[in-house]
Amino acid sequence: MAKRKHGRKIRTDFKKRHQERKRHKDVTREFQSDALDDGSFVSEERISGKGELTRRRTIVGEIANEDADGLQVQFDLDDPEIEHGTVLRVHGLESVVRADRGDDCRCAIRQLLKSLATEQRNVVVAGDRVAFRRVGEHQGVIVAVEPRTSSLSRSSKGRRHVIVANVDQVIVVASAAQPDLKPHLIDRFLVSAEQTSLEPLIIINKVDLVDVRQVLSVIGVYASLGYRTLLTSAERGWAIDELREQVKNRRSVVTGQSGVGKSSLLNALQPGLQLRVAPVSTDNWKGKHTTTTAELIPLEFGGYLVDTPGIRQFELWDVVREEIAGLFRDIRPYVNYCRFPDCLHLQEVDCAVREAVADGRIDPRRYDSYAHMVEDLCEQRE
Ligand SMILES: Nc1nc2c(ncn2[C@@H]2O[C@H](COP(=O)(O)OP(=O)(O)O)[C@@H](O)[C@H]2O)c(=O)[nH]1
Ligand SMILES: [Mg+2]
Ligand SMILES: [Zn+2]
């Protein structure tokens, strides 16, 4: 970067990529395969994430050196030639960046950044906020990447690949009927969301098909746990404005069982949108499109949908059974009061969780979901 006399120089640290909680590595490995029902995933992959939200100001700068604590960056906030943008998608060493001024730029990655990339650490992924310098009308060079506020990653054969950065929320869609409402499935998606620290929004769609009172008790439990909830009908246009408010200016991953109306909801939000999240995208610069990389799809009213082909279902990956209780917001407060520290809260004596269920402090249906998830994992272990 050009040295400017009056440029404000600030030194900062990039956050370390993998500041997630400690896991029981040995136990985890045993549960890598076929974590759950669907089976449509590559079984040795898992998805995980982190969400320590420390927004910092945009960084423009140079990487001075790298040490064990992460990347050291020196940056110059006043360089007028530097623009900022959001990476929509990455093809190899080339990225498509939506510039803050509105157009899309095909950007190469600066050599210095490139040399820091390793297989575990894609230096730039979809969702990254970047600083770049234009070298043509719609071309540029990325000179710096902002620290990520969150990331979703996939691990395959012990390697971890960040696939998308800075996701804000996961939208869990279920339907009131056709297919039937399956609260235990919502619970599984919620556990995944809790695991990755993504804030969930729970939608029950197709409420036009039922008497709304039928779903109120289910949705009420989630609302009482502090989850945002919406009852929608894509067909009738109910609560679509509210949904738009919830996705506006945020980055959302949409998930849910097939047939619940995800595509219909997206189309109600913005006509044509469901086509953009169809499995094969033909829209790209060079015609060689890989369908396994994540893509950010800009919303015309602000915000992005995050499309992650290959992770069609945002699923429970390799959570270990001992972790599950901690990922249920309603069970978590009781786990420290059990007699045995390794209590699974199934049959054990003096179990604070079971006591809380017995006297109505924990919803029995939620506890049932919990017990099923743990039992499923126990079966896989045998
Ligand atoms: N009655 C009713 N049908 C809906 C609603 N939303 C979607 N559908 C229908 O449900 C079926 C599956 O919808 P789709 O959007 O493809 O579900 P997806 O698999 O989750 O993307 C389609 O036939 C839709 O017309 C709704 O709110 N009410
Ligand atoms: Mg669909
Ligand atoms: Zn217990």
Range with the poorest average pLDDT among 10-19, 80-89, 243-252: 10-19
In sequence order, what are the residues at sequence separation of 6 or more whose Cβ sits closer than 8 angstroms to the Cβ of residue 84?
58, 60, 99, 100, 129, 130, 131, 132
Minimum CA distance residue for ligand 1 atom 9? 261
d(CA 382, CA 173): 32
- Integer CA distances (angstroms), 8 to 61, 141, 373, in order: 11, 22, 53
CATH says 321-381 is which class? mainly alpha
Task: Between 176 and 310, name the one with better pLDDT.
Answer: 176
Range with the poorest average pLDDT among 80-89, 189-198, 338-347, 360-369: 189-198
Q: pLDDT class for 275, splitting at 50, 70, 90?
A: confident
Ligand 2 mean position to 79 CA, how many Å?
44
pLDDT of 174 strictly over 70: yes
What confidence tens digit (pLDDT) does each residue in 305-356 have?
998 765 555 555 567 889 999 999 999 999 999 999 999 999 989 999 999 9
pLDDT of 79 strictly over 60: yes
Ligand nearest to the CA of 334: 3
Q: What is the mean pLDDT of residues 248-254?
A: 94
Residue 233, token pair as written in the block: 């009908």
Ligand 3 mean position to 26 CA, how many Å?
23
pLDDT of 139 strictly over 50: yes
Index of the ligand 1 atom closest to the CA of residue 264: 15
Q: Count of CB atoms within 10 A of residue 351's CB?
A: 21
What confidence tens digit (pLDDT) does each residue in 140-153 have?
999 888 988 888 87
Residue 143, token pair as written in the block: 């000179």
Minimum CA distance residue for ligand 1 atom 28? 206
Domain limits of the chain?
50-159, 169-286, 321-381
Q: Do strands 70-76 and 61-67 pair parallel, antiparallel, or not at all (unpaired)?
A: antiparallel
Q: Are the C-beta atoms of 155 and 46 separated by less than 8 Å? A: yes
Only one residue has tokens 């989850």, namely 227
Ligand 1 mean position to 326 CA, how many Å?
34
Over the chain, what is the mean pLDDT? 77
Residue 300, token pair as written in the block: 């015309």
Fold match between domain 169-286 and domain 321-381: no
Q: Are the C-beta atoms of 62 and 1 separated by less than 8 Å? A: yes
pLDDT of 282 strictly over 80: no
Percentage of the residues of the chain whose pLDDT score is greater than 90:
49
pLDDT at 73: 45
- How far from each other are the two terminal CA atoms of the chain, in whole angstroms? 58
Q: Do strands 251-256 and 304-307 pair parallel, antiparallel, or not at all (unpaired)?
A: parallel
Alpha helices (H) in the chain, listed in sequence order? 25-30, 111-114, 183-195, 213-224, 240-247, 262-269, 273-276, 321-327, 352-358, 364-381
Q: What is the mean pLDDT of residues 19-45?
A: 33
Q: Are the C-beta atoms of 125 and 92 separated by less than 8 Å? A: no
- pTM for the model stands at 0.76
d(CA 297, CA 289): 15
Residue 186, token pair as written in the block: 């919502």
DSSP letters, 287-353, are: S---TTS-EEEE-TTS-EEEE-TT--S----S--HHHHHHHSTTTGGGGGGSSSTT--SSS-TT-HH
Minimum CA distance residue for ligand 1 atom 17? 261
Q: What is the mean pLDDT of residues 11-37?
A: 35
Q: Which residue(s) pair with 249 in the sheet?
A: none
Residue 335, token pair as written in the block: 């786990």
pLDDT at 225: 96
Ligand 1 mean position to 260 CA, how many Å?
6
Q: Count of CB atoms within 10 A of residue 329's CB?
A: 15
Is the domain covering 169-286 a CATH 3.40.50.300 domain?
A: yes
pLDDT at 276: 73
pLDDT at 132: 93
Q: pLDDT class for 11, splitting at 50, 70, 90?
A: very low
Tell me the angle at which helices 364-381 and 213-224 cross, rounded to the nearest 10 degrees: 70
pLDDT of 28 strictly over 80: no
pLDDT at 261: 93
Ligand 2 mean position to 262 CA, how many Å?
5
pLDDT of 287 strictly over 70: no
pLDDT of 244 strictly over 90: yes
Closest CA to 96 of 300, 294, 277, 301: 294
Q: What is the mean pLDDT of residues 238-266?
A: 94
CATH of domain 50-159: 2.40.50.140
Of 207, 264, 313, which is best to mutate to test ligand 1, by the most ligand atoms within 8 angstroms of its C-beta? 264
